[in-house]
Structure 1
């Protein structure tokens, strides 16, 4: 049986116009308006009635091809929802309510079947070609889409990179501009600082020059007064006046005992409080070194402790008296062994004397009690009273200390006293305060010892002179010039010759110091303190 697809599915002509035998086809559809009719060939076997012919079964490969053929995709969709189902084994036609289910028929064997199959194969190949082309087109479209997306991504990355580069460039420019402004600002500030520093330096130099002028005037005044004192003391030192001064300070020691020490001793609460201060203050003197920084630290600690006692007048005087005793005691013990240690101790004493004027009278009383030679006082030591006046001590067994121990103590005390007299006031006090123990006290010490009667001179006098020489002679010569040289020659040459027969060790050392000065032209003094 020959047929084509247009004969099976044709809505353009009526049944009367069809040349196909209706008995050879099964008509599907057509009952409802708008639904086309589908004619499917009936299946018969040769030599048998149509009712009795057995259907021809296609081979498995063809069946698989037909089962995969999607015919319904090419059929028009009816208005009343035409559903086409593909069955794996097309055997019978089934009609269902509300839908049309079509199963592929099995054609009769023969040439028509081969041609139909060939057409189907060709149609399949054509469709596959179309599908392949569509697939290639879709693939190409997807590829182009991906390429476009990739290009857009690259463009975005490039734009982002350029944006970041631009931001980085702008940031660098801003940073360079900021650094440039800061540099200009620093240069301006540095120039301003330099200008101020130069102005400050000029002011400082002017201030130093003014201070130097004042210092020279003060020194000239001191020289004038010292020269007047020398003229007065030359050959006629008023030893009665010196003795009166000595007795005044001895009485001051008694007043300290009665007016300060005893009241504190009777006040247990105050005594306990001051004992705590004493334990804090006493170690400070032993901690002094040749370091300026250490001196400043100890000075700060001591002044802080002293200021805490100021609200109580009795406690304040007791602390100052204790400090005076501690200074002299340090000179008796430490300076006698290491004379150069007198420099930081004297620096501390001078600062305290300036800050607390009440300390001067207390310290002088302690100096004169321990070593009256610092004011040129001398008396005979043939009696017990004479020895006590000249500062001798008794040992635990009641005997007087030996001469060497006594001379060493006197030398240590004289060294501290002499260093204080030759020190200059700190800059912060030079314009507002006078020196509490100026170098004129050194002149008095030398002149009064030089005028002491020969019979009263002992080895101790020359030990004290030697200690003074080490401590203050260099500054003394610088201060008083030619008059100082005359006085030094007087005590180191004339005075030592006057007692040559006594063979004093102190006198011999003093002559050696004098000869070194005459030979070298310089006087060696204690080293300066380090920063």
Structure 2
């Protein structure tokens, strides 16, 4: 098992070097630094200027309802997407522009947390609209990645958050909980279900057909990298959230990954299966998801997904 896991991580390293991808820590730092710069620069400037704050509030009140109006109709999705581009892009390069990108990303992710968590098919129009924005609005990719991290913590990377922030200051318990993506008064079950909606959007973006390549954070190879990294992060694997998000990922792209990644994906599935059935190395103490009821239930769903993928032609 250790040899197989080491092989997965080595393959992930080779993928990074070949494709020019970054490490998990670099991905986390990028999101964290972008978020800090956004808050300390454009957002701070807009909020401290009465006129800009007023204009931003007006634009935000136009952005949020449009995201809520999305339906599973391609023509309507493209129409609303164009309205959003026309609303935001003329302000490109200004503090107000970045504040609007932040509001747009937040509106998309909030919609995920409510609609997609309740009904997974509702992700499809959000996916197409998000791709339209990622393809059209300058710098939206980096802002969306930062807001994705803000709402979902380390799980999109995935990465175990260190004890200190990117500027070297030590996280307080409250700051660390916030960096993990928790909302106030949120239980672990609520947290996991909300993250499942967000990650479904992310995984769907990775497998979407696009006219031109998106930023590297939103390309298909990130799917394989995500699973490889997860299998290397023992601390994350102990959480009941891990098998929940693995199930979401397998449900979205498990079948498509089979022809895309070939034998490496089959080996990955073998490791996943071991982790949710017998435990790594045959140890029940090393079962993915730990021993909580939520972890056990999610493990069964992962097992069924792996069996479905492996028996497909």
Is TM more than 0.5 here? yes
- 3-state SS of 2:156 partner: helix
Partner residue of 2:62? Answer: 280
1:414: Cα distance to partner?
A: 0.9
Q: Does 1:518 align with 2:313?
A: no
Task: After TM superposition, list the pairs within 5 Å mapping 1:79-158 onto structure 2.
Answer: none
Q: Go from structure 1 to structure 2 and tell me whether the alpha carbon gap of 1:467 and 1:300 turns closer, same or farther (over 3 Å shift).
A: same
Contact 1:376 1:448 in 2 (8 A): yes
Q: Which residue of 2 aligns with 1:44?
A: none
Distance 1:436 1:246, change over 3 A: closer
- Give TM-score, length-normalised by structure 1: 0.48
Work out whether residues 425 and 435 of structure 1, in 8 Å CA contact, stay in contact via their aligned partners in 2. no
Is residue 123 of structure 2 the alignment partner of residue 342 of structure 1?
Answer: yes
Are 1:391 and 2:181 matched, yes or no? yes
Q: Return the offset for 1:387.
A: 3.0
Matched, 1:230 2:12: yes
| TM-superposed deviation, 1:403 | 1.8
**Correspondence for 2:33:** 251
Report what 1:495 is aligned to: 275
The alpha carbon displacement at 1:423 in A equals: 0.9
Unmatched 5+ stretches in structure 2: 1-7, 16-21, 164-172, 280-286
Whether contact under 8 Å (1:328, 1:367) holds in the other structure is yes
**1: distance between equivalents of 2:125 and 2:306?**
26
Contact 2:89-2:137 at 8 Å conserved across structures: no
For the 8 Å contact 1:354–1:435, the answer to whether it is kept is no
The answer as to whether partners of 1:414 and 1:468 remain within 8 angstroms in 2 is yes
Query: What's 2:187 paired with?
Result: 402
Shift of 1:516: 2.7
Distance 1:387 1:380, change over 3 A: farther
Q: Give every structure 1 segment of 4 or more consecutive aligned residues whose post-TM-superposition deviation is greater than 4 Å.
A: 226-229, 383-386, 433-436
Whether 2:45 is the aligned partner of 1:263: answer: yes
Match of 1:417 in 2: 202
Bigger-Rg structure (1/2): 1
| Length-normalised TM-score, structure 2 | 0.80
Q: Distance in 1 between matches of 2:121 and 2:246?
A: 16
Partner SS for 1:502: coil
Query: Relative contact order (alpha carbons < 8 A, sep ≥ 6): 1 or 2 greater?
Result: 2
The structure where helix makes up a greater share of residues is 2
CA-to-aligned-CA distance 1:346-376 (integer Å, 9 cap, x gap): 1111121111230111111111222211111
Query: What is residue 104 of structure 2 aligned with on the other side?
Result: 323
Contact 1:375–1:445 at 8 Å: present in 2 too?
A: yes
Taking the aligned partners of 1:256 and 1:369, their CA distance within structure 2 comes to 12
* In the alignment, structure 1 residue 442 sits paired with structure 2 residue 223: yes
Equivalent residues of 1:380, 1:456 under 8 A apart: no
Judged with a 3 Å threshold, the aligned counterparts in structure 2 of structure 1 residues 247 and 418 are, in CA distance, closer, same or farther, namely same
Q: CA deviation at 1:455?
A: 7.5
For the aligned residues, what is the CA RMSD? 2.8
Aligned to 1:51: none
Asked if residue 313 in structure 1 is aligned to residue 90 in structure 2, the reply is no
Structure 1: tracts of 5 or more residues without a match: 1-225, 234-239, 396-400, 523-531
In structure 2, the partner of 1:366 is 147
2:254 matched residue in structure 1: 473
Return the match for 1:458 from 239, 248, 258: 239
Whether contact under 8 Å (2:9, 2:229) holds in the other structure is no
Q: 1:316 to 1:455 in 2, by over 3 A?
A: closer
The answer as to whether partners of 1:378 and 1:390 remain within 8 angstroms in 2 is: no
How many pairs does the alignment contain? 279
